[in-house]
Amino acid sequence: MKFNSLLLAATALAASAVQAQSTCNEWSPCFREGYCDSDAMFCLWGLCDEAKSFNSTSCWKPEGCASQLVTFDSSADVIPIRTYSGNPNVNPYLSIFEPDNASIVDGALKLQMNYQAAQNKGFGATADASHTIQYGRVTARVKTASVAPGVVSSFIIRNDQTGDEIDFEWVGKDPSQVQTNYYFNDILDYTKMVAYNVGADTSKDYHDYTIDWSENSIQWLVDGKVIRVVNKADTLDAATGKYLFPTSEARVAFSIWDGGNSGAQGTAEWAGYPTPWGNGVSYQMFVDSVDVKCSGDQGTQTSTDAGEPSNPTSGPEPPVSNLPGGQKCRPRPY
């Protein structure tokens, strides 16, 4: 489910309080959700709105897919998006909210949700992959935050602009359950959600969750076992002649958010509520590793740690830095 994470992102943008503009100038060339700026929070492909940016090359290009195993052993494996300079091999994950509550702890990515009194709800964390993917197999070793009602953990592949999305989600009211879902073009159809009982408390131990996405099908696996298959052929909408099947290039993302206090009754009932908050209470989701195998690529790159950028020898073009060569951005004029 994407709306709440977008809402959080919007909150984060508003908090950074740049002046709203209808078009962007060359010093703040990238447009996102009503604001212009020059860093990755605004220029990153998928977040940046090309039509409203300064010119057609202002938004950064998609980084492309790289088959690699990220093990979150280095602090460079996740950094605040504002500090990202455009090399996805050095910084494979970006923390996209401010305040930034994504960190590396004991060889895992930790996403933390703290209470935000002003809004009377938890403020979570989201880490987006800096590489993009368009078909491939992604396995994440995840320990969820399903320790209390209302706390939602997610592992998704999403394109924010097209609204194509493939999900694993865990709701805190049911620690042994994982839910799978997918969306095409932001069409909300919660009836496509399927729940699966993992047979263990997902917050106690790591399990492997795999999304295997091809042009023809999506498979979801838990600990190597296929739990669901959706075939593209079966998603044909007779009325429009369109396949309601996600196809657009996207990013892998992990997120923790407060579904119980979200303010939407349907969401609260889905996640469980109220989310228990109190002195010193916080909730954490952990990702031990993420293994990506790009479509058409059998091999896996290991190590993305700082200082050892990987150089794929097969598959897509090696990703390059997105920053225009030698260009220095001027300080923001506000």
Contact criterion met (CB below 8 Å) for 31 and 53: yes
Question: Which helix (DSSP H) or strand (DSSP E) does residue 220 occupy?
Answer: strand 217-222
Of positions 89, 101, 130, 180, contacts ligand NAG by CB under 6 A: 101
**What is the rounded CA–CA span in Å between residue 184 and residue 37?**
29
What's the rounded Cα separation, in Å, for the pair 243 and 223?
A: 29
Catalytic residue, chosen from 33, 169, 249, 317, is 169
> What tokens appear for 65 in the block?
């897919």
Q: Contacting ligand NAG (CB under 6 A), which of 58, 74, 154, 255?
A: 58
Q: Which of 63, 165, 249, 269 is an active site residue?
A: 165
Q: Which is nearer to ligand NAG, 60 or 184 (CB)?
A: 60
Per CB under 6 A, does 57 bind ligand NAG? yes
DSSP per residue, 150-180:
TEEEEEEEEETTTTEEEEEEEETT-TTEEEE
CB of 114 to ligand NAG, least distance (A): 6
Binder among 15, 26, 266, 314 for ligand NAG (CB under 6 A): 26
249 flagged as catalytic: no
Smallest distance, ligand NAG to C-beta of residue 123, A: 8
Which is nearer to ligand NAG, 54 or 273 (by Cβ)? 54
Of 16, 55, 83, 119, the one binding ligand NAG by CB under 6 A: 55
324 in contact with ligand NAG (CB under 6 A): yes
State in angstroms the smallest separation of the CB of 101 from ligand NAG. 4
- Give 76 or 193: the residue with its C-beta nearer to ligand NAG: 76
* Integer Cα distance of 241 and 138 in angstroms: 30
Q: Is 165 a catalytic residue?
A: yes
Only segment of 81-89, 99-107, 127-135, 199-207 that touches ligand NAG (CB under 6 A):
99-107
| Cα gap 70→301, rounded to integer Å | 9
Residue from the set 54, 93, 184, 254 that interacts with ligand NAG by CB under 6 A: 54
| Contact flag: residue 124 with ligand NAG (CB under 6 A) | no
Confirm if 122 and 152 have CB atoms less than 8 A apart: no
Residue 64 found at the interface with ligand NAG (CB under 6 A) = no
Task: Quickly tell me which residue has 């696996």 as its tokens.
Answer: 221
Cα 193 to chain center, whole Å? 19
How far is 29 from 21, CA to CA, in rounded Å? 11
CA 82-85-88 angle, 5° bins: 105
| CA distance from start to end of the chain | 34
How many residues of this chain bind ligand NAG (CB under 6 A)?
12
Site residues, ligand NAG (CB under 6 A): 26, 29, 54-55, 57-58, 99, 101, 103, 112, 114, 324
Q: Which residues are the active-site residues?
A: 165, 169
